[in-house]
Structure 1
């Protein structure tokens, strides 16, 4: 009878090994979730960069088909496409706002330029544009032949 009593007392609760296994499973799940969540600010800047590169290429194509240069001008409030090829009713007509109000554009190539020239020639000058939101920066560039795309930022000398 004393053997049954020992078994009843010995089977209560969890062992230390079982508790450690459960804690490690919870820790791994938490780490997996934290890695799966992307930085929302980086995602917003990436979305702005993809949107802008698509619009720049659209304006470049419109410039080539019309034979008239289209210019892009950016400001802290937004950006606009300028030129006779951008007519009323065109998807590129009118000023556009940034997706996030704290976005700041800066044309870094050609140095000192206030606008990007998008055609009408198939081969344009190499151009580079940096958009910044807070401390985050994203660079869009073309070598003049390839489309505008997000590129790694050049190291600062």
Structure 2
């Protein structure tokens, strides 16, 4: 017959419950911190627009036709130059889009051109090097700038 000593008996129910509670608290903290906040969502939109601007610049050069971007507080659209004038693009990548959160202000502060009727556009031309461009997205105290240096590269940065 075997005898079990106290050293080999295992964990008590209370010890297992304490470990479960601690694990639950840690997991809930990770889940709360993993969900994007308002600043993160606006920065994500800025980064998405920066990538779309890079694609639009490449498409304008490869297709030998200008592409323009227009945006407002609720969303944006891309236009392509045709013999009939500017026409909205319908391809998947350049289809009209919406911001994840509505913006208080969307302003082209550098490199914009008037499209008439008070509408300003960023125009991506056929040239390899273009002028600098800067777009500012504002929602409350959050400000995200999407800047292009003219070489076809764009960067989104958040300002506190």
- Do both share a fold (TM > 0.5)? yes
Residue in 1 that maps onto 2:107: 106
Q: Secondary structure of the equivalent of 1:100?
A: coil
Which of these residues, 69, 72, 93, is aligned with residue 72 of structure 1?
69
TM-score by length of 1: 0.65
Shift of 1:141: 0.6
Q: Secondary structure of the equivalent of 2:40?
A: helix
- Is 1:81–1:92's contact at 8 Å kept on the other side of the alignment? no
- Is 2:43–2:157's contact at 8 Å kept on the other side of the alignment? no
Unmatched 5+ residue regions in structure 2?
1-24, 115-119
Work out the CA distance in 1 between the residues paired with 2:44 and 2:77: 18
Work out the CA distance in 2 between the residues paired with 1:64 and 1:54: 16
What is the number of residues matched between the two proteins? 123
Q: Secondary structure of the equivalent of 1:37?
A: helix
The structure with the largest alpha-carbon Rg is 1
Unmatched 5+ residue regions in structure 1?
1-28
Residues 1:52 and 1:135: Cα distance change in structure 2 (over 3 Å): same
Residues 1:43 and 1:60: Cα distance change in structure 2 (over 3 Å): same
Work out the CA distance in 1 between the residues paired with 2:126 and 2:63: 8
- Is 1:63–1:69's contact at 8 Å kept on the other side of the alignment? yes
Residues 1:69 and 1:139: Cα distance change in structure 2 (over 3 Å): same
Q: Does 1:48 align with 2:45?
A: yes
More helix by share: 1
RMSD: 2.9
TM-score by length of 2: 0.64
More strand by share: 2
